[in-house]
Amino acid sequence: MKKIFFAAVAGMLCIMSCNNATTDKGSDARQKNLAASDIIDKAFQTGDVSKIDSVISPDFVDHSDRGDFKGTDSLKAMVKFVHENMKDMKTEKLHELADDDYVFSWMRWTGTSNGAGGMPSGPYDMHAMEISKFKDGKAIEHWTYMDMKEMMKMMPPPPPSQENKMDTGKMK
């Protein structure tokens, strides 16, 4: 009975150490991806794009609601635009998950918009999921999924339609 117990324990230890070795192999890539994501986030907060080339692939694609934007220059232009038009923007990573290929960040942005880019002027407080795909420690693709309910709160209400007006004089 002792031999079976020790064999079972030895087998479990072997399996656990093999799983840890597999996990540890991926941790370098995960850590590299998380560090790259932090550099990109810091660029948006500070406007400093000097480190962007070290963490963005030259064939990077940002999939946005306005179409696909390609290359590091398009990302640098977006950083500049955001920093110039939302100078007091603060970002907060509420939660973040990563593996060897992706970083998923639940983000909160707060600040004040000057009204550029279709966003109304004034304060904003938005949440979104940022998903970045990485290869060899550099971002190759990016998607943002915004909370539509929060976005709609910031938009001005549509003008009243003539079709929707009720003639309350006829109601009695």
Predicted TM-score of the model (pTM): 0.72
- What are the strands, taking DSSP E only, across 37-172? 56-64, 67-70, 90-98, 102-113, 122-135, 138-146
65-90 tens-digit pLDDT: 888 999 999 999 999 998 899 889 99
4-15 tens-digit pLDDT: 544 444 445 455
With beta carbons less than 8 A apart as the criterion, state whether 128 and 148 touch. no
Distance (Å, rounded) from C-alpha 99 to C-alpha 156?
A: 39
Q: What is the mean pLDDT of residues 94-99?
A: 95
Structure tokens at 12: 């479990």
Between residues 19 and 164, which one has the greater pLDDT?
A: 164
Please provide the CATH number assigned to the domain covering 26-156: 3.10.450.50
Structure tokens at 90: 């603060």
Kindly compute the dihedral angle of the four CA atoms of residues 139, 141, 144, 145, in this order, to the nearest 10 degrees.
Answer: -130
β-strands 67-70, 56-64 pairing: antiparallel
**Predicted confidence (pLDDT) at residue 108 exceeds the cutoff of 50:** yes
5-46 tens-digit pLDDT: 444 444 454 554 444 444 444 589 999 999 999 999 999 989
In the DSSP assignment, the letter for residue 169 is G
149-161 tens-digit pLDDT: 877 776 666 777 6
Q: What SS3 state is found at 32? A: helix
With beta carbons less than 8 A apart as the criterion, state whether 98 and 34 touch. yes
**Predicted confidence (pLDDT) at residue 170 exceeds the cutoff of 90:** no
Structure tokens at 16: 């656990």
110-127 tens-digit pLDDT: 999 998 877 888 998 999
133-151 tens-digit pLDDT: 999 999 999 999 988 887 7
Q: Got the DSSP string for 93-124?
A: EEEEEE-SSEEEEEEEEEEEE-SGGGPPSEEE
